[in-house]
Copies of this chain bind each other. A is one copy, B any other.
Amino acid sequence: MLSGLSFINGQWQSNSDDCFYAINAIDHSQMQPQFINCSKELLDEACLQAKAAFIEYRQTTPLQRADFLNEIAHQLALAEPLLLERTTVETGLPTGRIQGELARTINQLRLFATNLIKQPVFMAHDFALPERTPLARPDLKMSQLPLGPVAVFGASNFPLAFSTAGGDTASALAAGCTVVFKAHVAHPGTCEIVSRAIEKAISICGMPCGVFSLLQSKSYEISHSLVKHVAIKAVGFTGSYRVGMALLDSIKTRNEPIPFYGELGAINPQIILPNFIAQNSSGLAQEFVTSMAMGAGQFCTNPGVWLVNKEEAAEFKAKLIPLIESSAAQTMLTPGILNAYAQGCQRLAEHAEVVASGLVDDKKASVYLFTTSADQFLSNQALHEEVFGPASLMVTYKDLAEVASIIDELEGQLTASIHGSLEVIEQHKGLVEALSFKVGRLIFNQMPTGVEVCDAMMHGGPFPCSTDVRSTSVGSFAIERFLRPICYQNQP
């Protein structure tokens, strides 16, 4: 059923015999079929077709694009059985999660479709003032245009919602941009299934063939050639700091600067203010452990660092330990990620103390909670690095001056949460204000996992959690990534 080919200009193509295989996340075996690494020539064709298709696609009406997005959503829903079969094995994510993520991906497409229908044609209109002195004012209207062909990279940890027809693709298509999508090697079959859904929607809606391409490749060179391609006018990426910064280096070699929307991960600090744990230590412990272990901790909003009052740490740990020790080991997305998680835990174990660890199973990740003091945390940069997986670090503070110092030293984060009574939060408004400048989303008394797709969502934040703090990768506002203003003066 799967071809293992790239989808370029409406054709499933390959022109090489260089190939790779998807890996079964559960038993680490090779999966059939083979996927052919797309050549530099095919990449070039995809970009040029995206450029050619852009001329037609940018002239579609918002209603036509809404129909197209809704049709992709419909075709995705029809593909659910195929996805449940393939994606669960490629990613090791359970059926319920894939069902939920598919629903989210479908809703995301529909949200952009709905927004397209209700968007105003002009963002601003200054009417002509022909009698004004000393100078008349012309009629001026501000509208928006799509940027052009966009390169989108799939993320390993959201094989649907941040992948082939995920947020970046949906918002780019909604904006009127064409998309060249580079599949993630961790779920190439999923990418093909979703691309076939898009292919059907292209055909049903009569969209130009080059509006969407899928590139399959295990070669980093293809990714770098893609972001350097002169036809590409913006790049959407969700992944690791290392890969994101390498792509940014390639983008910097371009003569034409283009926006790079890289979401590079975070440690999402959780600050528990004094005298809060005692109020609800069991509930809080349950919330924290559920959030840290959810999806094997493979969310970009995973709560990696918890700031806890030293005097309350023992009480909190007492509630946490049994929950962690009974937590099941979970399959991770790829053998490489499982291995990196093991190394990350080892690094934390070298620099911090283990509080508790969960159940152990072959080829699975165990939950880990570490602890260290605020002093240690402040002086040891190794403790600030994200460990991708179900591990968290509890940092115990002596006083709120230490919390303020930690906030001051924090790098940019996707999210942070403040946990405390409303009275204590109100007393420490300064901390909250300082924290807001370090994050994209500031949360009160809730966990950061769970990113709602809605108008008010900001999923992004100050560097290094993202490379463009002015934009979000989730929610209605994400379409702004791929639009730019234009002013029409004295338009007939």
A positions within 8 Å CB-CB of B: 55, 58-59, 100, 122-126, 134-135, 137-138, 140-142, 145, 147-148, 248, 252, 256-257, 259-260, 422, 425-426, 433-434, 436-437, 439-446, 450, 452, 454-460, 463-464, 467-472, 476-477, 480, 483-492
Contacts and interface: CB of A to CB of B under 8 A. Distances in A.
A58 B437 contact: yes
A147 B463 CA distance: 11
Contacts of A456: 122-126, 140-142, 487
10 contacts: A124-B454, A137-B452, A148-B437, A439-B486, A440-B485, A442-B486, A442-B487, A470-B485, A471-B485, A472-B485
Contacts of A248: 257
A433 B452 CA distance: 37
A437 B149 CA distance: 13
A482 B422 CA distance: 31
Contacts of A480: 470
Contacts of A433: 59
Copies of this chain: 2
A435 B108 CA distance: 33
Nearest to A96: B134
A485 B134 CA distance: 39
Nearest to A439: B486
B440 A487 contact: yes
B142 A490 contact: no
Given A126-B454, A444-B492, A458-B487, 7 more contacts: A124-B455, A140-B452, A445-B490, A458-B486, A459-B487, A470-B480, A477-B485
Contact of A257 (B147, B260, B457, B487): B260
A140 B480 CA distance: 19
Residue from A147, A456, A477 having most chain B Cβ neighbours under 10 A: A456
B470 A484 contact: yes
A3 B142 CA distance: 43
A105 to B, nearest CB: 15
Contacts of A257: 248, 260, 463, 467-468
A181 to B, nearest CB: 22
A418 to B, nearest CB: 10
B440 A476 contact: no
A147 to B, nearest CB: 7
A258 to B, nearest CB: 8
A444 B489 contact: yes
Contact of A469 (B55, B100, B122, B484): B484
Of A55, A138, A257, A434, the most chain B CB neighbours within 10 A belong to A257
Nearest to A426: B492
Contact of A457 (B140, B450, B455): B140
Given A458-B485, A487-B441, A138 B446 contact: yes
B485 A443 contact: no
A444 B490 contact: yes
A378 to B, nearest CB: 19
A436 B137 contact: no
A129 to B, nearest CB: 10
A172 to B, nearest CB: 14
Given A124-B476, A444-B490, A458 B142 contact: yes
A452 B126 contact: yes
A426 B142 CA distance: 20
Contacts of A259: 468, 470
